Amino acid sequence: MAWLAGQLVATLAIASLLVFWVLRVLPGDAATVALGMNATPEALATWRAEHGTDRPLIVQYGEWMAGLFRGDFGRSFLTGNDLTPLVLDRVQVTLILVGLSLALALAIAIPLGTLAAIKHRSLWGVVITGGSQLGVAIPNFLVGVLLVSFVSVRLDWLPAGGWVPPAVSLTEFLRHVTLPVIALGTVQAAIITRYVRSAVLEVMREDFLRTARAGGLTYGQALMRHGLRNAGVPIITVIGVQISAMLIGAVVVERVFVVHGLGSLLVDSAQNRDLQAVQSIVLLLVALVVVINFIVDLLYTLLDPRLRLAGSVV
Amino acid sequence: MFRSSHRTRLAVGLVTALALAGCSAGQTTTSPDVGPGGVRTDVIIAVALEPVNLDFTTTSGAAIPQLLMNNVYETLVKIDQDGGIVPLLATSWEMSDDGTEYTFHLRRGVTFSDGRPFTSADVVASFDRVQTHWIRSQLTLPMAVVDHTEALDDYTVRVTLHRPSNEWLFSIGTLLGAIFPAEIDFDKMTEAIGTGPYVVAERQQGDRIVLTGREDHWAGPAPLRQVTFRYITDPTAAVNALRAGDVDMLLTTGDRIAPLSNANFQVIEGTSNGEVLLSFNNRIAPFDDLRVRQAFAYAIDREAVMEVASGGFGTLLGAMVPPTDPFFEDLSGMFPFDPDRARELLAEAGYGERDAGLEPLRIAFDVPNIGYATTSAELIVSHLADVGVNATIRILEFPLWLDQVFNRHDFQMSIVMHIEARDLMTVLQPNYYLGFDNSVVGPLAAAADAGSFEEYVEGMREVARLIAAEVPGLVLCLSPNLIVADPALTGIKPNAVTESLDLTALSWTK
């Protein structure tokens, strides 16, 4: 535990250094973007002094870090507003989107992947494998655009975009969230289906499963009792990686469906050279990914007692 | 293939289930706001650029005045759809014979949205603040001619100028003349208190700004109870929102019109102040040579460029003077598309094929990553190739473009839209990125500005003609002001004569 927590802190420290310094190397000046093409040099200098971008970098980094320890992301260069409530609001949107998409992806992928493995020699297996192949090949923004033009524009069933928080109206929330979740979730489902299939296939060839069958269990019972748990470790690994991919994939889906999540905030901030916002969002994304990996590691030890033992030895 | 249709059916089934769940709960938030006679009283408008805050006095960009001018903040005079100057908060005004004193008679019975009465003290404070509190930029220059502003009584204001200026009277019809309360006891970044028919009611950063209509506006209750600006950056998503009925009106670009024109929408095309300029760095070779600049003007088929960049919408111009300016003159025929003439001029300047003993011309073309710029650039390069010029496109992210091209003048040729009203002389300042030597036209323009209105118009026409012949940059076209809207919406102003998206006449017919 302590080892993992230490790893988490070290990763974040290194990431914060990288993010901060790499952004400072980027050409393009926030003051010019904020004040526009016609600002005088004096106005630009005043702006830089007000926003502290003319101070030594080490001081700026120190202040950013000090703020983060207080739970304060700082002020946006552009709007002058506190970033903390804004970022927390946006991260909520992205997490809801990613969470629901993941749930949809798993609800599709686990039964289909298992079915594809069990029936891998029959037509069903081939159909599922082929379908998932197609899903892997289609980028999620394309699914999004197709859904909008068909479901929203042609059929007029659901809104083409926008976001209503569940606290405001649950039904409106569902109407707005359905298409983005399908766009993000089905593509992930296709990818995860393939991993589930191969993990289950792998397990099915194991000796212990044959032994279980010999002990009188049916194929399904053997798989349920001994197989899925063993297939779980590689599947959990892939899900961990895919959640990170979905956080990034959400950037594009948010754009297509005009959902104002962390991704769109990141893109807008980068375009406006609002470095204060960019570095905080990137670090938050890094933290999320690190935490997800941390949880995945914990799940390993739950699923596989051997890893628990190995962990204690280390 | 049939696998994919299977998947689609599955997805559609899921969607149907959720959609039905949504309907059965009796949701009301999407039902439109309806007034007496069953006519809707709310409008949702999709706009691309979101204001970062509400204070255009310290923050640049077109998005803030687009939302607030005319709708929330008003001005003494207003620029009408033809570019004329008409009364708004001033019912009339007189100019002294020497043109340095303006006396404005203010409208009575006007109140700010917080109930404060509007008087001459508000005008004096607002004009003074442009000098003392606004960010200083080229754009505040027209107000620099003001010597002082004084209140003669509660409803009469006298403005004394250092010198006569035609530009000044126009400029106070733009955001520079916005009237704020004399005492600003609110945060201009987050609140807006003006005399206009609408007030800012709600702001969800990254998503929308909601204006509500005032019942107590001096011209009568606002025609709409609620106007929502939805900020949708992605143009495809914006078009889809209109087609799905999520928004009623959309400001868009020419390349997006095609899929909308056969649907049941009204498409309104007007003029804007946005000139798309192919800019040359006049300081350095080869563009320090007039023959090269003129050759480029002959070589590029601007009509074809406009077709590609904005679906054929827009206006061809010879100089940066839109048709709504009083001194507009059609100069678009000065350099007709003529590749042969371009080759001749280039050869005179010493550029051409090596076989002919000339030097092949290679130039770097720095293009910001903005839709109209990147699409036009490809075609321009092919037109230049036809006359033997080898131009290499380098795409720059916009902040990088600002840094390299605009601030450091490190470029040969570039392309960008200049959106300010009456920006002809701004762009030609010698320290501007074009590096144009304005020693001839500068004094002419200053003299025109100080003359009578007729002298102003004549003088500026002369200036525009001289500039067009010098080709400091090539005006590719005037960007159209394109609005696609529900056919039942009326009162849409086609021309964007200032930064404002003027909603004061917008309403529903049914």
Task: Quote the minimal CA–CA distance from A43 to chain B in Å.
Answer: 6
Residue B494 and residue B270 in contact, taking contact as beta carbons nearer than 8 Å = yes
Q: Which residue has the higher pLDDT, A15 or B110?
A: B110
User: Is the CB of A161 less than 8 angstroms away from the CB of B232?
Assistant: yes
A27 contacts on B by Cβ (under 8 Å): 399-400, 403-404
Q: Tell me how far CA of residue A113 lies from CA of A130, A141, A184, A189, A243, in angstroms.
A: 12, 24, 18, 9, 18
User: Is the CB of A28 less than 8 angstroms away from the CB of B4?
Assistant: no
Instruction: List B residues 401-420 in contact with A (Cβ-Cβ < 8 A).
Output: 402-404, 406-407, 420
Pairing of strands B42-47, B226-231: parallel
Q: What is the pLDDT of residue B406?
A: 87
The pLDDT of residue A304 is above 80: no
The pLDDT of residue B434 is above 90: yes
According to DSSP, the residues that pair with B42 across neighbouring strands are: B226
User: Is the CB of A157 less than 8 angstroms away from the CB of B136?
Assistant: no
**Considering CB atoms only, which of B15, B27, B244 is closest to A160?**
B244
User: Is the CB of B205 less than 8 angstroms away from the CB of A86?
Assistant: yes
Q: Rounded distance, CA B489 to CA B42, Å?
A: 11
Q: Rounded distance, CA B479 to CA B275, Å?
A: 6
**Considering CB atoms only, which of B60, B138, B206 is closest to A264?**
B206
A134 contacts on B by Cβ (under 8 Å): 3-4, 7
A127 contacts on B by Cβ (under 8 Å): 3, 6
Q: Which residue of A has its CA nearest to B401?
A: A28
Q: Rounded distance, CA B272 to CA B498, Å?
A: 8
* B422: region left, alpha or beta (phi > 0 left; psi from -120 to 50 alpha): left
3-state class of A217 per DSSP?
coil
Q: What is the pLDDT of residue B351?
A: 94
Whether the bond into B65 is cis, omega within 30 of 0: no
The pLDDT of B361-370, averaged and rounded, is 94
Task: Quote the minimal CA–CA distance from A28 to chain B in Å.
Answer: 5
Confidence band of B345 (pLDDT split at 50, 70, 90): very high
**Considering CB atoms only, which of A32, A130, A158 is closest to B407?**
A32
Confidence band of A164 (pLDDT split at 50, 70, 90): confident
Q: Which residue has the higher pLDDT, B138 or A261?
A: A261
The pLDDT of residue B31 is above 60: no
Q: Per the confidence metrics, is the pTM higher than 0.90? A: no
E strands within B89-192? 90-95, 101-106, 146-153, 156-161
Write out the H or E segment, with its range, that includes residue A2: helix A2-25
Residue B246 and residue A161 in contact, taking contact as beta carbons nearer than 8 Å = yes
Mutation test of the interface with chain B: which of A44, A157, A182, choosing the one with the most B Cβ atoms within 10 A?
A: A157
The radius of gyration computed from the CA coordinates of chain B, to the nearest angstrom, equals 25
Confidence band of B21 (pLDDT split at 50, 70, 90): very low
Q: Which residue has the higher pLDDT, B52 or B66?
A: B66
The pLDDT of residue B9 is above 50: no
Q: Which residue of B has its CA nearest to A131?
A: B3
The pLDDT of residue B35 is above 70: no
State residue B422 phi and psi, 5-degree precision: 50, 50
B16 contacts on A by Cβ (under 8 Å): 157
Buried-state track B467-485, b at ≥16 Cβ within 10 A, e below 16: bbbbbbbbbbbbbbbbbbb
Mean pLDDT for chain A overall: 82
Partner A contacted by B144 (CB < 8 A): no
B202 contacts on A by Cβ (under 8 Å): none
Q: What is the pLDDT of residue A141?
A: 81
State residue B51 phi and psi, 5-degree precision: -65, 140
**Considering CB atoms only, which of A32, A47, A135 is closest to B402?**
A32
pLDDT per residue as tens digits for the range A235-255? 888 888 888 888 877 888 888
Q: Tell me how far CA of residue B506 lies from CA of B30, B33, B74, B87, B97, in angstroms.
A: 21, 15, 17, 20, 39
**Residue B215: Cβ-neighbour burial (10 angstroms; 0-12, 13-18, 19+):** exposed
Q: Tell me how far CA of residue B156 lies from CA of B73, B120, B170, in angstroms.
A: 20, 6, 19
User: Is the CB of A186 less than 8 angstroms away from the CB of B59?
Assistant: no
A164 contacts on B by Cβ (under 8 Å): 29
Q: Rounded distance, CA A184 to CA A242, Å?
A: 11
Instruction: Return the half-sphere exposure (C-beta side, CA atoms, 13 A cut-off) of residue B43.
Output: 29
Q: Tell me how far CA of residue A215 lies from CA of A209, A210, A212, B496, in angstroms.
A: 10, 9, 5, 82
The pLDDT of residue B29 is above 50: no
- CB pairs A-B closer than 8 Å: 172
User: Is the CB of B135 less than 8 angstroms away from the CB of A35?
Assistant: yes
User: Is the CB of A161 less than 8 angstroms away from the CB of B240?
Assistant: yes
Q: Tell me the percentage of chain A whose pLDDT exceeds 70.
A: 95
- Name every residue whose Cβ is closer than 8 Å to that of residue A126 and which is 6 or more positions away in sequence: none
The pLDDT of B391-406, averaged and rounded, is 88
Q: What is the pLDDT of residue A309?
A: 55
User: Is the CB of A164 less than 8 angstroms away from the CB of B29?
Assistant: yes
pLDDT per residue as tens digits for the range A52-105? 888 888 888 888 888 888 888 888 877 777 888 888 888 999 999 999 999 999
Q: Rounded distance, CA B212 to CA A281, Å?
A: 34
The pLDDT of residue B11 is above 60: no
Mutation test of the interface with chain A: which of B135, B143, B407, B429, choosing the one with the most A Cβ atoms within 10 A?
A: B135
User: Is the CB of A153 less than 8 angstroms away from the CB of B232?
Assistant: no
pLDDT per residue as tens digits for the range A121-163? 788 778 888 888 887 888 878 888 888 888 888 888 888 888 8
pLDDT per residue as tens digits for the range B76-117? 999 999 999 999 999 999 999 999 999 999 999 999 999 999
Mutation test of the interface with chain B: which of A112, A153, A278, choosing the one with the most B Cβ atoms within 10 A?
A: A153
pLDDT per residue as tens digits for the range B215-245? 999 999 999 999 999 998 888 889 989 988 8
Confidence band of A314 (pLDDT split at 50, 70, 90): very low
Q: Which residue of B has its CA nearest to A141?
A: B237
3-state class of A82 per DSSP?
strand
Q: What is the pLDDT of residue B2?
A: 34
User: Is the CB of A174 less than 8 angstroms away from the CB of B22?
Assistant: yes
The pLDDT of B161-179, averaged and rounded, is 94
Q: Rounded distance, CA A120 to CA A114, Å?
A: 9
Residue B113 and residue B194 in contact, taking contact as beta carbons nearer than 8 Å = yes
Confidence band of B393 (pLDDT split at 50, 70, 90): very high
Write out the H or E segment, with its range, that includes residue B413: strand B413-418
Q: Tell me how far CA of residue B307 lies from CA of B297, B335, B391, in angstroms.
A: 17, 18, 21
What residue type is B153 in one-letter code? D
Residue pointed to by tokens 């970022």: A87
pLDDT per residue as tens digits for the range B308-331? 888 889 999 999 999 999 999 999
Pairing of strands B146-153, B266-280: unpaired
Confidence band of A207 (pLDDT split at 50, 70, 90): confident
Q: How many CB atoms lie within 10 A of CB B400?
A: 18
User: Is the CB of A28 less than 8 angstroms away from the CB of B399?
Assistant: yes
Q: Which residue has the higher pLDDT, A303 or B53?
A: B53
B406 contacts on A by Cβ (under 8 Å): 32, 37
Residue A295 and residue A101 in contact, taking contact as beta carbons nearer than 8 Å = no
Task: Quote the minimal CA–CA distance from B221 to chain A in Å.
Answer: 30
Q: Rounded distance, CA B17 to CA B194, Å?
A: 48
What residue type is B306 in one-letter code? M
Q: What is the pLDDT of residue B381?
A: 96
The pLDDT of A285-311, averaged and rounded, is 77
Confidence band of B28 (pLDDT split at 50, 70, 90): very low
Instruction: List B residues 441-480 in contact with A (Cβ-Cβ < 8 A).
Output: none
According to DSSP, the residues that pair with A75 across neighbouring strands are: A82
A39 contacts on B by Cβ (under 8 Å): 60, 135-137
Q: How far is CA B487 from the centre of its chain?
A: 24
Task: Quote the minimal CA–CA distance from B209 to chain A in Å.
Answer: 14
pLDDT per residue as tens digits for the range A168-182? 888 889 999 999 999
The pLDDT of A177-200, averaged and rounded, is 89
The pLDDT of residue B25 is above 50: no
Mutation test of the interface with chain A: which of B15, B189, B256, B400, choosing the one with the most A Cβ atoms within 10 A?
A: B15
Q: Which residue of B has its CA nearest to A171?
A: B22
**Considering CB atoms only, which of A79, A158, A258 is closest to B234?**
A258
**Considering CB atoms only, which of B7, B136, B402 is closest to A33?**
B402
Q: Which of A254, A247, A262, A31 is nearest to B233 (CA)?
A: A254
User: Is the CB of B18 less than 8 angstroms away from the CB of A153?
Assistant: no
pLDDT per residue as tens digits for the range B437-464? 989 999 999 999 999 899 999 999 999 9
Q: Rounded distance, CA B400 to CA B379, Å?
A: 23
Q: Which of B173, B183, B177 is nearest to B117 (CA)?
A: B183
Instruction: List B residues 57-116 in contact with A (Cβ-Cβ < 8 A).
Output: 59-61
Mean pLDDT for chain B overall: 88
The pLDDT of residue B370 is above 80: yes
Give this complex's ipTM: 0.71
The pLDDT of residue A29 is above 80: no
